[in-house]
Amino acid sequence: MGRTEISITIDTEFSITGAFKNPDLYRPVAEPVVLCEVDGKEHGLGFLLETFEKYNISASFFIECANYFYFGDEPMQSIVRRIQAAGKDVQLHVHPCWMNFNNDPEIGNFSRNDSCAGREYDELKRIFELCIEVFVRWSGKRPEALRSGSLVADMNLYRVMHDLNIPLASNVALGVFRPKEPELQIYSGIRTVQGVSELPVFSYQDMNILGRKNIKSLQITSCSWPEMKYILWQARKKGIRNVVILTHPFEYIKQTDFLSNNFIRNRINQKRLDKLCQFISEHDQDFVSTDFGQISKKIITGNDTDDPLLAIPTYYAIGRKIHNKINDTLRDY
């Protein structure tokens, strides 16, 4: 068996804050959400790139492109080029709510919500076409993969992706959102959906309460390091080929809100990412980091996997809940 591939994915996006509910009081926020500066040091993007370089880790930054319709090309274009200059992969991320800042009737009018699910085919296709144009201008390439905003998906989304020749998706995280279609209720591995290869954020069972399974997705901000390490070794033991992990730049700071810019470093989340990257580096006989650009070069449509649903012992879940509660409650922890 080849090495288990670990794909760290970073949803790189700006924040609308409360601009829709109260536009007189709130304005969208750009760089602070991604750079996350504290006393002149970047604890978001800078920390991520430094950590990946330190341990020679491949990773995919999913770049939100609909924000162009509020901010224009800058500042996200500079962020994309900086990520590429560091040798990291960039792919397409779309939060459709940004389309509501468009004032050009020739571009179109769009439903005022942030979901890529439940939209008409033509509307979603138009949104993706516009965002692909932005992505190509920023990155100099077409996206090989797409992730929908808030990991909300339906079958129609994959039809649009297929027709736009985007071969890879990472739109599913059952611990975040559970699609109604059985075909999209995927815990891990690879599943062909409407001719597109879906690689979901890895999901697992963390507790079984009164016979009901509680499903959690693998995210830096919500999963303890002992829990992540246990899952990775179990995935290796069960022959699971790929484990997708989700994070965001703003997970590495603590803030009261993005408007105040009152940030401090999130020491716990930074330690989790550092330990994960060190683990991959030190166990290179069993694990290897990879990104969606690399995966796109070797993926074979229809080469689906049937991975088992993994579960963690209850004490891991209890320990994580306590640790996260302390970290969330105590600002200087």
Q: Which helix (H) or strand (E) holds 4?
A: strand 4-12
pLDDT at 330 over 90: no
User: Which residues lie below 8 Å from residue 78, measured CB to CB, with a gap of 6+?
Assistant: none
Q: What angle do CA 292, 297, 298 make, to 5 degrees?
A: 100
What are the tens digits of pLDDT across the range 31-87?
999 999 999 999 999 999 999 999 999 999 999 999 999 999 999 999 999 999 999
Q: Which residue has the higher pLDDT, 331 or 6?
A: 6
Contacts of 72 (CB under 8 A, 6+ apart): none
At residue 256, the pLDDT reads 79
pLDDT above 80: residue 212: no
Q: Thinking of the domain 4-202+242-301, which architecture would CATH place it in?
A: Alpha-Beta Barrel (3.20)
Over residues 101-150, the pLDDT tens digits come to 999 999 999 988 999 999 999 999 999 999 999 999 999 999 999 999 99
pLDDT for position 105: 92
Helix (H, G, I), strand (E, B) or coil at 292: helix
pLDDT, residue 178, reads 96
DSSP-based helix, strand, coil % in the chain, nearest 5: 35, 20, 40
201 forms beta bridges with: 244
| Domain residue spans of the chain | 4-202+242-301
Q: What is the pTM of this model?
A: 0.97
pLDDT digit string, tens, across residues 88-111: 999 999 999 999 999 999 999 998
Average pLDDT over residues 8-30: 92
Q: Identify the CA nearest to 61 among candidates 36, 37, 42, 86.
A: 86
pLDDT in tens, 254-303: 987 777 678 999 999 999 999 999 999 999 999 999 999 999 999 887 88
